[in-house]
Amino acid sequence: AEVEQAVSTGSLPGRERVGALVLDAYERAKAATGGTVAGYIPALAGADPELFGVSVAGVDGRVHAAGDAAVPFTIQSVSKAFVYALVCEALGHRAVAERVGVDNTGLAFDSVIAIELNGGSPMNPMVNAGAIATTALVPGSGPAGRWEAIRAGLSAFAGRPLALDEEVYDSEAATNRRNQAIARLLQSHGRLDADPPAAVDLYTRQCALLVSARDLAVMGATLADGGTNPVTGRRVVSPEVCRDTLAVLAANGMYQRSGEWLFEIGLPAKSGVSGGIVAVAPGKGAIGTFAPRLDAAGNSVRGRHAVAHLSRTLGLNLF
């Protein structure tokens, strides 16, 4: 049935209404077929293609969930949004933008030719090249200190301690030759000061942190709330960093499909290859979804349906 577009207001509707709309979006998007589970990371290839969870967290700290919203999965590229925020918080608006860039490549997330076509620039923090370059900027004492800064920072966004999936980390670390090549290429262009294998290792670890759809909703709601986690009340990053992060997500979060996503759905968002999506409605809250079947750009098929539906029914489209 045609979905009515809700009128956009300053906040989410009341508790019962949001709960009913989350369930409605879950049930409708569950019918979406198509897409395939990512196969290039061996430990991800065996994911259950039918898992599906949807969660909405408001800036009022209320969290709604439907389906497999508590099932853990590795965060993968969704981590790029939050590590970028942490690095902006540490180094400021200008430094990261000058080093990494903010513009879309128009090419796939693991593109090598995008680097060559742009004079060695990683282009933006949401593709693998830019994310490796961003992770290399995380402050901390030694590899262990930098890893702890990332783990603790992403945990603060989620409002609970996040753990590493050792199996997925090992699996990706043993097979990520393309990311190793990207890091070496950046180094050859003078765009990576850190040791390339160490930068890729840290990036691979951040991608293997375990989250749920509910966690993604709370993490996104922290960006929607100007950097304060609405569940724990703890400040994680500044409002200025949230603005920078959401702008970068709007332009790049859904890779080469970011323009189409913004046109159809109207929210800054980030996807990951394990099937997660976080979509942020500034000042209102965020949607977290998990469904492993992906489209050709690497974006979750059911997740996209659920976010599109909720953007309409909750009146979230920014434009």
User: Residue 257 or residue 309: which is nearer to ligand DON going by CB?
Assistant: 257
The one catalytic residue among 78, 80, 241, 270:
80
Positive or negative, the Cα torsion across 268, 288, 302, 66?
negative
Tell me, yes or no, if 311 is annotated catalytic: no
172 belongs to an annotated ligand binding site: yes
Residue 2 marked ligand-binding: no
And the tokens for 33?
A: 């077929």
Give one word for 190, left, alpha or beta, with left for phi > 0 and alpha for psi -120 to 50: left
Catalytic (active site) residue 77 = yes
**Which of these segments, 18-26, 84-92, 268-276, 278-286, binds ligand DON (CB under 6 A)?**
268-276
Whole-number Å distance between alpha carbons of 252 and 249? 5
255 sits in the region (left: phi over 0; alpha: psi -120 to 50; else beta) called left
Contact string 154-173 vs ligand DON (x = CB under 6 A): ------------------x-
Strand 63-67 versus strand 285-290 pairing type: unpaired
Q: 47 is written with which tokens?
A: 């994911």
Q: Pattern of binders to ligand DON over 204-243, x per CB under 6 A?
A: ---x------------------------------------
Tell me the CA distances in angstroms from 286 to 34, 87, 217, 223, 266, one per residue in order: 25, 21, 5, 8, 13
x-or-dash string of contact with ligand DON, 75-114, rule CB under 6 A: -xx-------------------------------xx----
* Active site (catalytic) residues: 77, 80, 203, 255, 273
Give me the residues that bind ligand DON (CB under 6 A), please. Answer: 76-77, 109-110, 128, 172, 179, 207, 271-273, 298
Binding site residue list for substrate:
77, 128, 172, 179, 203, 255, 273
